[in-house]
Amino acid sequence: MAPPAARARCVHLLPDTHDAGAENQARYLLSALREHDWLEPELAYFGAGRAHGKFEELGVPMLHLPRLRRFRFDAYGRARRLRRAFRDSPPAILHTWLLEANVVGLLAARAWSRTCVVITQRGSRNELDYAGLVRLQRLLLGGVAHAVSNSDGGAEVLREQGLPADRISVISNGIPAERVQVDRSRKAIRDELGWSGQEIVAWVGRANDLETARHKDLRTLFAATESLNRRRPGFRLAMVGPTVEEIEARGLQVPESALTLGWRARPAELLEAADAVIISSLHEGNSNVAGEALLLGLPVATTDCGGHCETVRRCGGLVVPRRDPEALAAATARLLDRPPERAAVRAAASERLSVDRMATAHVDLYRRLLGGS
């Protein structure tokens, strides 16, 4: 299908410009959309996060809609401010990311009869923990032109909320090569970190709030760590993201064999130096951590928790049931004993995690929506 004759304003609405899964996917997509002359990509956001400078580097127009009060008292205010900002030229496409932005965008677009609203579902069943936002989104689903999820589980959640299946697409994540670019040798990184002669299994994530820690199932992770430590005295768990204080604030004790490395701007270097990656989550949409690890050639042991699991299997990794620390420990040990060849893992992952593929799927969706408007 040919693109529309006139340029189409395509506004993406994000809660925050964080360096995190959904936010990075939005940034990769915005970058790709700049290559399409018939689209005018823009970004609106509520708060500035750690990756704000990277969003600014895209060179697309950016609109700050600051949070003035708690969401329940400010949702309509933000919607009105968004509406006023585009009063003279409403977007042809309003693409919203995560529940908070989905609700505000749908409220604002009620005044734009010709705008196609595309909402996203990123966290699979994790989103159901935010019951208030889910209820509001359900009430506003009549204004949704289409929804995009990065997992089959997320698509199922949308259907359960009442969105017809023909208005839902599953588009898995894309990861650019520069995200996993490492400029130093694996040996040099391991020597600097003091990891020489040790088996290092990396875990990457956040534990900055109770819900996130629960979704990541740190209890299962730590139980699997203790099991691995009994079997393999040289084993270490390298936790990239959280601090000891954040984990202990969740009522958990960090195992002696675990290293907490805090947030890192370039986790790829730490992944490159590891021997495997472990994911213990109860639910994920489509784990970017798994994708980045596979693109570096690392094997992944993961619970059966999201859309990344099929890619993990195809790349030589292992998938085990959730909440089963012994199974997770056994799978990790097997990958340490018999790791797949790194070049083969990278090749298989590159084919499935292309940003071009992800972006093309979105552009084709925009064409279909505008062609039918």
Q: What is the pLDDT of residues 83-126, one digit of tens each?
A: 999 999 999 999 999 999 999 999 999 999 999 999 999 988 87
Q: How confident is the model at residue 63 (pLDDT cuts 50, 70, 90)?
A: very high
Q: What is the pLDDT of residues 14-62, one digit of tens each?
A: 999 998 889 999 999 999 999 999 999 999 999 999 999 999 999 999 9
pTM: 0.83
Residue pointed to by tokens 């500035």? 48
Q: Is 217 or 208 the better-scoring residue by pLDDT?
A: 217
Q: Check residue 128 and give its pLDDT.
A: 87
142-177 per-residue burial string, b: 16 or more CB within 10 A, e: under 16: ebbbbbbbbbebbbbbbeebebeeeebbbbbbbbbe
Stretch 268-287: mean pLDDT, rounded?
Answer: 94
Q: Is residue 372 over pLDDT 50?
A: no
Stretch 350-364: mean pLDDT, rounded?
Answer: 94
Torsion of CA 322, 135, 365, 29, to 10 degrees: -70
Q: Check residue 357 and give its pLDDT.
A: 94
Q: Is residue 304 over pLDDT 70?
A: yes
Q: Is residue 210 over pLDDT 80?
A: no
Q: What is the mean pLDDT of the chain?
A: 93
Q: Check residue 276 and give its pLDDT.
A: 97
- Which is it for the CA torsion 208, 213, 216, 222, positive or negative? positive
Q: Check residue 190 and give its pLDDT.
A: 95
